[in-house]
Structures are given as C-alpha cells and as structure tokens.
Amino acid sequence: MNIKISGSGTSIVFLHGYCETHAIWKDYAEALSEHYEIALVDLPGHGSSSLTIEDFSIDDIADLVHEELSMNGIDEYFVIGHSLGGYVALSLADNYADSILGFGLFSSSTYADDEEKKKVRDKVKEYILDHGVESFMNSFVDGLFAPENRQRLANEIEEIKQAACKTPAKSVIGYAMAMKHRPDRTSILATSDTPVFVIAGERDMAVRLETSQQMIDLIPQGDSIILPKAGHNGFLENKIESIDFIKSFINQYL
C-alpha cells in the first residue's frame, strides 16, 4: 500500500475519497507536519496502491489500512476521512478503538445507504461495465463541486479527473458495492469517548446538509464546521478554511 509519512509527533492519518488519491491532502500535510506526524494513504485500488482482494467490504479495506499503519510504526492515530475515506475511518473507530485517538468526517456520513442511494450504486456499476471509467469520471467529478466553484478550480478539477480516470474499473465497481453494503455506524459517532469532528459542505449534493446537521447534533465531544458555498469537495473549494479548522481542532483536542 502506498503511504507517505512526514513530520513527527502525534500521528494524524488522512484518507481520501472515492477514486481520489492521497495527493488531495498535500497542502494539509504541509500545514500540519511541523508539529504532527502525518500519514497520507492511497487506499487499495487507488493511486499507487494495488487491489489484491475480491468482493471486499469497507471493513476489509480498514483492516488493510490498519495493518499498513502498524507496519509503519503507527499504532495510535487520529484519522480524517473524506467521503469514502470517512467510511473507512468509521470502520477503524469501530473495530480498532484502542488505536483511535479520534476521527474527523469530511463530507462523509455515518448512515448506511438508503434504497435510493443503493440504486445509484448499481447504476454506477452498470455504467462502468457499459461505458468505462473515463466516460463516467468525465461527468462524475464535476458534480462533486458546487457550480460556482468550477471555473475558479478548473485546473484542480482537471487534475482530480485525470487521476480518477486511472482508477481501475474493478476498484470503481468494487468500492461502489462496498459502500452500498456498508453498515450504519451512527452509534460510533454518538457514543464516542474520543474527540470527533464533522466538516460539511453547504451545497454538497452527495451528503446533504440536513444529513450532516443530524450528525453534528450527535457529537458528544468535538466540533463541526459548515463550509459556505462548498459542494462535496470542500477540501479544495474552501481549503484555507478547512485547514485552519483542522489545525485549531487538533491543537485543542490532541
């Protein structure tokens, strides 16, 4: 598994979203590595990490991530996940609680897919099989950004699109099915005895604001922020604000 580690101190692990790579967190690592050990991971089947398992679950991916971190001497860590990465972070918090110092959900959800969302996952699978990854990504990636941010971030969107197009079809399909069947982990958020945060985009069409607000209301110890005029990819749309929030949160709780 491809992992990039920088800095020293308390370990913070960043997990990217669906068909992304750890490159999305570059500026976050640079901002935090002066005082913390930062681990950026390419999830299996993304970026430079190969996918060696079939018919996998989110828990299977979390197991592989935890094993990789342990192999690199990271036994306790705060984990931050964007979208799919948040699902993996929740699995880590559920199954490896002794290793988790807390977690952050960035445009992600604790809730299982409803029936409508499951149908969308099936349509993604069908589309990839019929038309391929590149055709899918050429329309999918743009929709992750609020319309008013697309021109301003045109170069960044193109970079994400190019990286996404390199994701193998078996990964794109496999993760769609893994997300479809993931369990509800709202109780992990609601009962956490470690600090947690939620970062939500005001105009996120993948994780609706009302869903994020429901999660925010359940946080027992931690904080949250709603990024104004941001879609699903607020890590780029409101990058400075997001980095400042994470730095402040970690300085306060870790």
Closest by CA position to 178, among listed 15, 45, 21, 22: 45
pLDDT at residue 97, rounded to an integer: 98
pLDDT at residue 141, rounded to an integer: 98
Provide the CA 246 distance to its chain's centre, in angstroms: 14
In the CATH hierarchy, which fold is given to the domain comprising 3-112+183-253? Rossmann fold (3.40.50)
In the predicted model, residues of the chain with pLDDT beneath 70 are none
- DSSP SS3 for 125: helix
The neighbour count for residue 157, using CB atoms within 10 Å, is 19
- The CA distance from 180 to 117, in Å, is 8
- DSSP SS3 for 97: helix
pLDDT at residue 52, rounded to an integer: 92
User: Which residues sit opposite 197 in a β-bridge?
Assistant: 104, 223
Enter the pTM of the model. 0.98
| Residue count of the chain | 254
